[in-house]
Structure 1
Amino acid sequence: MNRRQQGFTLIEVMVALLVFGLIATAASEVGSQYINTYERVRDKTLATWIAENRMAELRLAEAFPGIDETTRELEYGTYRWQVTTEIKATEEASIRRVDIHVGRFAGEGAEDPPPLHTLSGFIGEQGR
């Protein structure tokens, strides 16, 4: 009596596992890229808001800013940020150029972070 075997052969199982492994690897890569992109956009957005807030502070200040470069740290969201403000002279004495660089610290004791966002603008002296 001939009995027909049912089920998968070892080769079929190995091919199925190979295909599943390739699909899982590709899905993992896509997920990783999505997370990296999300984090980059989040950091860029927060850095933009911080720079715009700093520019608004300078524009709303009572006194016309002097030529200066300052660096300060602040907590924004759940992260520590470094904000460097460069105020430079222009050919017109009643106008200052302002460059604001914002970077996010990687962790405790981290070195100065590279800028994630730079905002440049001009501030004019009122009443001149």
Structure 2
Amino acid sequence: MKSPHKTSGFNLLEVVVATLLFNLVVVFSIGLWATHARTLEKSRHRMVATFLAEQTMENALAEGFYGVKNGADTIAMKTTVHGTVTTVKYDYSVEVAETDDPNLKSIVVKVKWPDDDAQIREVRYETLLSSSSN
């Protein structure tokens, strides 16, 4: 004799296990997304600092051997991501130093900015400038 109840379909245990697995995947994905967003933000700050360091170094080199001098300044950059405006202050400096060779000067450009985790990050470029490059 056949049972009057339908035997095909999902039982309660299968539904509970499927729901648990789905929730685990969703929670993991949300955590991964948050990590990705933080990494993207840090990368954006580093990219701006690198650009600023490159431009500052190019300006220092354009001054030439006899015109290049020490200096420092701060620039505030505003970025908008998904409607949220963020302002980050980048401190940059140019350090010019004499070397053992009187025809060479050492130029160091540093760009520093505060990170989200309250650490100061830095991009640093160094080069030598020759008196014969003018």
TM-score (norm 2): 0.70
Q: Deviations over 1:19-67 (max 9, x none)?
A: 011111221233223223322322222111100111111112264335x
Corresponding position: 1:104 with 2:113: yes
Counterpart secondary structure, 1:114: strand
Per-residue CA deviations over 1:90-128 (Å, capped at 9, x if unaligned) read 111232111112122358xxx88331x111112223588
Residue of 116, 127, 131 corresponding to 1:121:
127
Q: Is the 8 A contact 1:84 1:100 kept in 2?
A: yes
User: Unmatched 5+ residue regions in structure 2?
Assistant: 80-87
Match of 1:65 among 64, 68, 72: 68
CA–CA separation in structure 2 for the residues paired with 1:113 and 1:73: 14
Contact 1:98–1:122 under 8 Å retained in 2: yes
Q: Percent identity?
A: 18
Distance in structure 1 (CA, Å) of the matches to 2:133 and 2:121: 37
Q: Return the alpha-carbon distance in structure 2 between the equivalents of residues 76 and 59 of structure 1.
A: 24
TM-score, structure 1 normalization: 0.73
2:101 maps to 1:92: yes
SS in 2 for 1:12: helix
**Structure 2 CA distance for partners of 1:126 and 1:40, relative to 1, 3 Å:** same
For 1:41 and 1:83, locate their aligned partners in 2 and report how far apart those are by CA, in whole Å: 18
Gap regions ≥5 residues in structure 1: none
RMSD: 3.0
- Distance in 2 of aligned mates of 1:35 and 1:112: 18
**2:51 maps to which residue?**
49
- 2:42–2:115 Cα contact (<8 Å) kept: no
Q: Distance in 2 between matches of 1:94 and 1:20?
A: 68
